[in-house]
Structures are given as C-alpha cells and as structure tokens.
Structure 1
Amino acid sequence: MTVLLLRHGRSTSNTAHTLAGRSEGVDLDDKGREQAQAVVERIGSLPIRAIVRSPLLRCERTVAPLADALGLSPVVDERISEVDYGAWTGRKIGELVKEPLWAVVQQQPSAAVFPDGEGLAQVQARAVAAIRDHDRRLAAEHDGDVLWVACTHGDVIKAVIADALGTHLDSFQRITADPASVSVIRYTTLRPFVIHVNHTGANLTSGLIPKPAQPDGQSGAEQGEVPPEDAVVGGSTG
C-alpha cells in the first residue's frame, strides 16, 4: 500500500506568519488555491482509490478539486488534524521564537508539550496510527497494492515520515514539508519504504503505479524487492 502525504496548499495564516493550529476558518490564499488545482495535474492521473483528510478547512479546500476529478468522497479523520498548539494558536511566529519552549520544539521535539495543547510525541502516535489503520483497511478492501492520499499538515507529515524512516522524533525538524508538497511512503509487511519527500514538481508518476502481485500473492515490495526507481529517493526529489 502506498500513501501520498499531501500538505495543504498555502494558507492565509502561512502568508501572515501566524501559527494557525486548529483555528477555524483559515482558508487557502490565492496561491494556495492555484496549488490545489495543480494537484489534479500532478497526481490526478494516478490510480488513486481513496482520499483521507484532516477536518480543517485548508485541507478540505486542497483536496476538493482532486476529489471532484476522481469522483471520490474524502474521508475525514481527526487523527491527522493539525497539532493542537493550545495557547500558541494564532500567535505570530516572530513572537513564538522568543519563547523558551521554541528551542525545545527545535532541538528536542519529543519533549515538547504546548501550553494547554498537546505534545509532539502524541501527535506522532495518533497520526502514524491513523495512516497505518487506513492502509490496512484499504488493503483489505482492495486485496492488493493501491495508492491513496492523506491530506494533512506540515508537522504531522514530518512526524509520519520520521517514523517511516525509523528516525527518532527529535530529528523530525530535518524533514521538510512545504505547502502543497507530496511525500510518498510505501508500507509493506517488512518495513516502510520512503519513496519521495517534499515533492513539489510538475507531476508525480515514476515508480508509483502499483506492481502486479507475485505468484504467491505478494507484491515485489512485500518480498523485499525495491524497484530501481524507488531506490533513488530523498534529496533529488525537490
């Protein structure tokens, strides 16, 4: 099973340099709406079988054009919602960098708990559980490899990627997830394979078409085989 982790397009909060968190009504800006339309061209030709999204408006807006093009009804999952930043929600980033907790978030995020909010370790636990639950559900429904999209938020995506890489959460700030970027993880019975990180190019097709099942019913990835195009990942993806 292969999940495309899609970050929402650029939001009004991104351009205002505020921490949106779970604030209601934070929409895409003009650039974000263009990015949402471009997602259709970038990944709409892939055989995507399901879309799961965060309940927040900026994710709803981001997947709407893709869902319309594919004739899919997105599933809403609270577990891939934005971090609950608590008392930090809505504040200017320029103010937050002066807070003592900011250094913890940057240097030891596994220990960071936002005032009146949640901890980043908690975020990773809920998000990874959600992704793996949907992966198992879709595998059972479709009896084989399928592609699906999870539209969520930057810190959530970075936490899921860190888990897939087997990297401690304290290193997740080394991962980038820009607005409207796509990161790709293929989950198998052996281990996850990280195919792309922070892809922002014109299209995303190479190596993502589900592979035919082997005679014993397993895909090549499940047998530990990684196609050559999947081996070259990471820094070169943009």
Structure 2
Amino acid sequence: MPTLLLVRHGRSTANTAGVLAGWTPGVHLDDRGREQAAALATRLAPVPLAAVVASPLERCQETAGALLTVDGPTGPRPAVATDDRLGEARYGDWTGQEIKTLTKHPLWSTVQVHPSAAVFPGPEGEGLATMQARAVTAVREHDARVAAEHGDDAVWVAVTHGDIIKAVLADALGLHLDLFQRISADPCSVSVVRYTPLRPFVVRMNDSGGDLSSFAPAPKKKTTRRRRTAPAASSDAVVGGSTGT
C-alpha cells in the first residue's frame, strides 16, 4: 500500500485577492506561496518520491516544480506528470468572481451545507459530486500504478487544490460529501492517505509544518537464500492504540 501525500498548492495571487480562481489561466503563486513550496521541498528531502502528479493549473505546476528543486535521498526527483482530473472544480459562471460577492448567491448555502447537490451555474459548471468522483478515481488509479511499478512501500505526491483534497479525504474517511466542508486544506499543507485492499487509512491531515521524514520507507532487510512471500498489506485497524511506527 503506497503512501499518498496530498499537497495543496502554495498561496496564490487569487487567494490573496479573495477571488475564486477555478480554471482561470495565469493564476500563479505569490511570494508567500513560493516560500511555502520551497519550505515543503526541504521538509520532503528525506522522503524518496516514486511519482509526482499535479493539476495542470499554474499554481499547482509551480508548487510541484518547487518540490523537484531539492533532491531526495536517492537522487533527483521524478518529472512531474499532469492529470486534468486533479484540476480545480469547474466553477462555471462563478469563476473569477470575488468570494464576498458569491457569499450572497443562493447557491452558496447549498455549497456549504448540501454540497453533494451543488452544481455550479453556466455551461462549464461542474457538480461537486462529479468533481469528487473524477478526483478519487484519478488518485486510486495513480496509487495502483505506483504500487505495480515501485512496490507497496513507495511514496508519491499529488499536488492539487483545496476542494479536491477535501473531497478525496472525505471519501477516504468514509464521510458523505455533505460533510467535506468540515475538513481543512491550507495552502501547501500535506495530508496523507494509504489505500489498502479493504479500506483507506488517513494518516495525517492539513499538516503545514510537521516532520515528514517518518514517511520514508524503512531500509529493506537483507533476504536469506530461501525465498519468502511478502505479507499482504493489512487492512486491519489497530485496536488499543498503535506503537507510532
């Protein structure tokens, strides 16, 4: 079961302007966002990364690119792969509008308390339920590919957006989408999920400064001549408290 690090992009110019960027082109990291991405690259230095997958939008591509500037323990990072399914929700006619204006829209209450029913207006508008479905599908497909290519102890990163991360975490926690607004994903935060055959485990959420070195796989022990079958990844939850390892 690989370890997935869900990374939200660093703070963007739209974040500071109070604008709902959506898929608006030309939205970049601001100075603080670039600092956040550089700091995260340093925090991730002890962790080998098997893959880095990102939303196509500039703020995510810039964040992912920053992670590649610091080599990992085994050398240079892999090139960034892009997946449109990790792109921001398509907010339709809301795109580019100020948040303070949108809060007065009747749909705003639906987005807050019944997001599974929320479909953004206009021909390009997307439903939040549709957004969750395509993001979860993408994450699970990439996770399976990483496991097949790099093994169950591999670590990989998905650089994406706040609503995407909240929706993926809600799915991993077994929460209805209508509860996803209870989850936070701050700029350049890290949330960690491991998918097993029977259930996902949410290992960390909205971490903006903690030590990430513990997610590096343990060194592999030397094997004896007798071939042994590796144990399957356990889907069992710890009862009575874990050892922290």
Normalised by the length of structure 1, the TM-score is 0.91
Number of residue pairs matched by the alignment: 227
1:118 positional shift: 0.2
Query: 2:244 — aligned with what?
Result: 229
CA distance, structure 2, for counterparts of residue 112 and residue 223 of structure 1: 33
Bigger-Rg structure (1/2): 2
Q: Which has the higher helix share?
A: 1
Residue type at the aligned position of 2:34:
R
CA distance, structure 2, for counterparts of residue 113 and residue 26 of structure 1: 23
1:223 positional shift: 5.2
Choose the corresponding residue for 1:165, options 164, 173, 179: 173
Query: 2:231 — aligned with what?
Result: 218
CA distance, structure 2, for counterparts of residue 3 and residue 172 of structure 1: 19
Secondary structure of 1:228's counterpart equals coil
CA distance, structure 1, for counterparts of residue 169 and residue 105 of structure 2: 27
Aligned residue runs from structure 1 range 38-77, under 5 A? 38-70=39-71, 71=76, 72-77=78-83
Aligned residue runs from structure 1 range 59-208, under 5 A? 59-70=60-71, 71=76, 72-116=78-122, 117-206=125-214, 208=215
Unaligned runs of 5+ in 2: 222-227
Q: Is the 8 A contact 2:7 2:191 kept in 1?
A: yes
1:64 positional shift: 1.0
CA distance, structure 1, for counterparts of residue 84 and residue 54 of structure 2: 8
CA distance, structure 2, for counterparts of residue 164 and residue 223 of structure 1: 13
CA distance, structure 2, for counterparts of residue 210 and residue 105 of structure 1: 39
CA distance, structure 2, for counterparts of residue 209 and residue 222 of structure 1: 18
Normalised by the length of structure 2, the TM-score is 0.88
Secondary structure of 1:136's counterpart equals helix
Secondary structure of 1:68's counterpart equals coil
Q: Is the 8 A contact 1:54 1:77 kept in 2?
A: yes
Q: Is the 8 A contact 2:42 2:70 kept in 1?
A: no
CA distance, structure 2, for counterparts of residue 58 and residue 166 of structure 1: 29
Q: Deviation per CA, 1:54-83, whole angstroms, max 9, x where unpaired?
A: 000000111112123233201000000000
Q: 1:45 to 1:86 in 2, by over 3 A?
A: same
Q: CA-atom RMSD, angstroms?
A: 1.7
Q: Deviation per CA, 1:152-196, whole angstroms, max 9, x where unpaired?
A: 000000000000000000000000000000000011112110000
CA distance, structure 2, for counterparts of residue 120 and residue 147 of structure 1: 28
CA distance, structure 2, for counterparts of residue 128 and residue 228 of structure 1: 30
Residue type at the aligned position of 2:230:
G
Secondary structure of 2:50's counterpart equals strand
1:94 positional shift: 0.2
Query: 2:225 — aligned with what?
Result: none
Query: 2:6 — aligned with what?
Result: 5
CA distance, structure 2, for counterparts of residue 147 and residue 125 of structure 1: 23
Query: 2:216 — aligned with what?
Result: 209
Query: 1:21 — aligned with what?
Result: 22
Residue type at the aligned position of 1:146:
A
Q: 1:202 to 1:164 in 2, by over 3 A?
A: closer
Query: 1:32 — aligned with what?
Result: 33
Q: Is the 8 A contact 1:41 1:203 kept in 2?
A: no
